[in-house]
Amino acid sequence: MARTLKEIFKGFSKLNRKERLNALEESGVIESRDVDYLERGGMKDTSLGEKFIENVIGYFQIPLGVATNFRIDGKDYAIPMAVEETSIVAAASKTAKWIRENGEIKTEVIGSEIIGQIQCATVKNFALFESALLAQKKYLIEIANREVAFGLVRRGGGVTDMTVRRIPRGDGRDMAIVHVMMNPCDAMGANIINQVCEFLKEPIEQFTGEKVTMCILSNLVDTKITKAVIVLKGIASDLAEKIEEASLFAEQDPYRAATNNKGVLNGIDPILIATGNDWRAVEAGIHAFAARDGQYRSVTKWKREGDTLVGIFEAPLIVGVVGGVTTLHPTAALCMKMLGVTSANELSRVIAAVGLVQNLGALKALTTVGIIEGHMKLHIKNLTLGAGAQEGEVPIVQKKLEEILAIRKRISLSNAIEILNDLRASEQSPH
């Protein structure tokens, strides 16, 4: 009988790669052909790469891992993470387990529209431009939906609204910016919103008598926000207090906010990459949103409520589950299948949850043992091998490195080399 994700994730990190793949297959999130594909080392043939970009010379491989123990809105997930940084997958899995045992993760998407921008760099009279455009708004939306976004309209989306913003140029004159609002359904929507805006260029020029200077989507999608909330019960009051203090630091200080948000993105980017989504777009949106009141702030907040710790992530997180790399790249398609999300909103909610969990893991480590310990523990093996230890030497060097780490809270490649040299010297010595 198939085992559940919860069952296969017990001791998952202790399994070897083959066993992990078999366990995932057993749970039904991947199939035997996916196991074969991953065992063969994924995609090798560069002809698909040639379709994506220019001047292809090969693929750049980064590790693909699975974050375990995630239960989001009552559903269990196997989270694919493509990332090179040590500790990210381990910290996400460990923190998710902590939450699973002591609380819950809830998520929602607020709003449905993405934004396209049409710039008129100088307008003779902003008020006239605005009234001319708004007078034709209904018609413009209609033709954009009929001529360009008809596929989305069929699926319940499409262009829904247009607004006009006045932006001072700084030279006494005004710029007029038209915002085109569009529901992209399960697509990320970049191509289609850009097409809509370019299509609207000519009619807008006709109706307003002004010149359109450029058209492009905005990554600051403050009209569609993904929210994740973690509630952790029975948490030690000193730990909760420390996490609250760390949160305040990131809310108020942009230097800390940048690092805090980097930690959140440690959880977000690897899933975006694994699922073939545009991580630059999401990063740009999150950073712009973090600075929306004029000061760069954290996109997460933690508050203590009695013996409960409550964390919130809120930011635009625009992703797609249809079209582009997501469906074309076989590894991305495999990851999408493994994740088992059925809509763009569900994918966005899962990613937001992992970002917030990653943030909690980092804040817990930073306010207790520090970040080095967790990082370095996992790094010890790499240092040992990096120093050139041979099979029989590995356990001895690792053990010594662990001892140094416990005492000095720091460890480096030179420690590993020194230990190895001492070990070899003692083995050669006649005594």
Question: Which of the ranges 259-267, 307-315, 386-394, 421-429 carries the binding residues for ligand MEV, by CB under 6 A?
Answer: 259-267
The verdict on whether 278 is a catalytic residue reads yes
CB of 233 to ligand MEV, least distance (A): 23
Question: Nearest approach, Cβ of 311 to ligand MEV (angstroms)?
Answer: 13
Q: Which of 113, 174, 269, 278 is catalytic?
A: 278
- Work out which of 155, 262, 292, 410 binds ligand MEV, going by CB under 6 A: 262
**Closest CB to ligand MEV among residues 224, 256:** 256
Is 247 a binding residue for ligand MEV by CB under 6 A? The answer is no
Residue among 362, 387, 404, 405 that touches ligand MEV (CB under 6 A): 362
- Give the count of beta carbons closer than 10 Å to the beta carbon of residue 431: 3
Give the ranges where 47-156 is alpha helix by DSSP (H): 47-52, 88-102, 126-135, 137-147, 150-154
Q: Is 232:118 a contact under the CB 8 Å cutoff?
A: no
Instruction: Single out the segment in contact with ligand MEV by CB under 6 A; choices: 25-33, 231-239, 261-269, 377-385.
Output: 261-269
Minimum CB separation from ligand MEV for residue 409, in Å? Answer: 15
User: Phi, psi (5° rounding) for residue 9?
Assistant: -80, -10
Q: How far is the CB of 266 from ligand MEV (least distance, A)?
A: 5
CA distance 5 to 78: 7
344, 321 in Cβ contact below 8 A?
A: yes
How is residue 3 annotated by DSSP? P
Residue 345 near ligand MEV by CB under 6 A: no
Number of residues that bind ligand MEV (CB under 6 A): 9
Closest by Cα among 225, 280, 281 to 113: 225
Nearer to ligand MEV, 139 or 255 (CB): 255
Question: Nearer to ligand MEV by C-beta: 84 or 171?
Answer: 84
Minimum separation from the CB atom of position 256 to ligand MEV (A): 8
Judged by CB under 6 A, the stretch of 180-188, 191-199, 206-214, 260-268 that binds ligand MEV is 260-268
Residue whose CB is nearest to ligand MEV in the complex, by number: 263
Nearer of residues 149 and 246 to ligand MEV, judged by Cβ: 246
| Residue 291 to residue 294: CA distance in whole angstroms | 5
Is residue 260 a contact point for ligand MEV (CB under 6 A)? Answer: yes
Binding positions for ligand MEV, 51-90, rule CB under 6 A: 85
Q: Candidates 110, 214, 291, 371: give the one binding ligand MEV (CB under 6 A).
A: 371
| Structure tokens that stand for 416 in this block | 């590993």
| Rg of the chain (C-alpha set) | 26
Rounded CA-CA distance 89/82 in Å is 9
Which residue is catalytic, options 26, 76, 85, 222?
85
What three-state secondary structure class fits 218?
coil
85 a catalytic residue: yes
Sign of CA dihedral 417, 423, 427, 428: positive
266 binds ligand MEV (CB under 6 A): yes
**Which position has the token pair 């997180």?**
317
How far apart (Å, rounded) are the C-alpha atoms in residues 413 and 422? 14
Q: Is 375 a catalytic residue?
A: yes
CB atoms within 10 A of CB 57: 7
In the list 103, 184, 189, 263, the residue contacting ligand MEV (rule: CB under 6 A) is: 263
Q: Does 328 bind ligand MEV (CB under 6 A)?
A: no
Q: Which residues contact 66 (CB under 8 A, 6 or more apart)?
A: 12, 20, 24, 78, 79, 80, 81, 89, 338
262 labelled catalytic: yes
Q: Which stretch binds ligand MEV (CB under 6 A): 103-111, 262-270, 318-326, 333-341?
A: 262-270
From the list 21-29, 118-126, 233-241, 257-265, the region that binds ligand MEV by CB under 6 A is 257-265
Whole-number minimum distance, CB 287 to ligand MEV, in Å?
Answer: 15
CB of 5 to ligand MEV, least distance (A): 26
**List of residues 6+ apart from 376 with CB closer than 8 A:** 405, 410, 411
**Amino acid symbol at 298:** S
Q: Are strands 64-72 and 75-82 parallel, antiparallel or unpaired?
A: antiparallel
What phi, psi does 66 have (nearest 5°)? Answer: -125, 125
Which of 160, 194, 223, 259 contacts ligand MEV by CB under 6 A? Answer: 259
Which residue, 128, 134, 138, 147, is CA-closest to 197?
A: 147
| Shortest Cβ 234–ligand MEV spacing (Å) | 24
The crossing angle, in degrees rounded to 10, of helices 137-147 and 126-135 is 60
- Residue 122's closest CA among 167, 175, 164? 175
From 97, 179, 201, 375, active-site residue: 375
Of residues 233, 262, 399, 409, which has the active-site annotation?
Answer: 262
- Catalytic residue numbers read 85, 262, 278, 375
Q: Which residues bind ligand MEV (CB under 6 A)?
A: 85, 259-260, 262-263, 266, 362, 366, 371
